[in-house]
Amino acid sequence: RRPNLHRVFELDNANGLTSLFLDQPPTLDEVLRETAIPGLVVLTSSEPPPNPAELLDSRRMTEILQALRQKFDVVILDSPPALVVADASILASRCSGVLLVVDSGRTRTEAARQVIETMNRSQVKVLGVALNRVGGRGRGYYYQYNYKPYYSSPKSNAKTPARTFAPLNGNASNAGNGHHADAVKPELADPQLDD
DSSP for 103-151, please give it: ETTTS-HHHHHHHHHHHHHTT--EEEEEEES--S-SEEEEEEEE-HHHH
Average pLDDT over residues 141-170: 42
> Backbone phi, then psi, for 21, in 5-degree steps?
-95, 0
> What integer pLDDT is reported at residue 109 of this predicted model?
87
Q: Quick check: 161 pLDDT over 60?
A: no
Q: What share of the chain in percent tops pLDDT 90?
A: 16
Q: How confident is the model at residue 193 (pLDDT cuts 50, 70, 90)?
A: very low
- Identify the band that residue 3 occupies on the pLDDT scale cut at 50, 70 and 90: low
Is 60 within 8 Å of 78 (Cβ atoms)? no
Examine the pLDDT at 181 and tell me if it is beyond 60: no
Mean pLDDT, range 49-67, rounded to an integer: 87
Spell out the residues 6+ positions from residue 133 whose beta carbon is closer than 8 angstroms to its own.
103, 104, 105, 106
**Model confidence at 69, in pLDDT bands (50, 70, 90)?**
very high
Taking 50 as the threshold, does the pLDDT of residue 145 lie above it?
no
Looking at residue 146, what is its pLDDT? 41
Task: Inform me whether the pLDDT recorded for 172 exceeds 60.
Answer: no
pLDDT at 139 over 60: no
Q: What was the pLDDT predicted at 143?
A: 45
Distances (CA, A) of 128 to 1, 23, 111, 116: 24, 38, 15, 10
